């Protein structure tokens, strides 16, 4: 197991996790403001 490859894989996993969390929080904020009008059908 190369340490460089392991570090690259872990860093990519952490970056993807942070990006997904930020994306979900942004979507939640957007749906909080506009969700009442769109989903009230």
Q: Give backbone dihedrals phi and psi of 8, rounded to 5 degrees, phi first.
A: -65, -45
Total of domains in the chain = 1
**What is the model's pLDDT at position 34?**
73
**What is the model's pLDDT at position 8?**
96
Q: In which band, very low, low, confident or very high, does the pLDDT at 1 lie, cut at 50, 70 and 90?
A: low
**Given the structure tokens 């340490």, which residue do they identify?**
3
| Predicted confidence (pLDDT) per residue in 4-36, tens digit | 999 999 999 999 999 999 999 999 998 887 766
| Backbone region of residue 2 per phi and psi (left: phi > 0; alpha: psi in -120 to 50; beta: other values) | beta
**What is the model's pLDDT at position 37?**
65
* Structural domain span for residue 2: 1-41
């Amino acid at each position: 197991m190369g340490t460089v490859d392991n570090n690259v894989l872990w860093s990519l996993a952490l970056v993807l996790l942070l990006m997904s969390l930020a994306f979900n929080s942004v979507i939640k904020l957007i749906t909080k403001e506009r969700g009442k009008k769109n989903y009230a059908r």
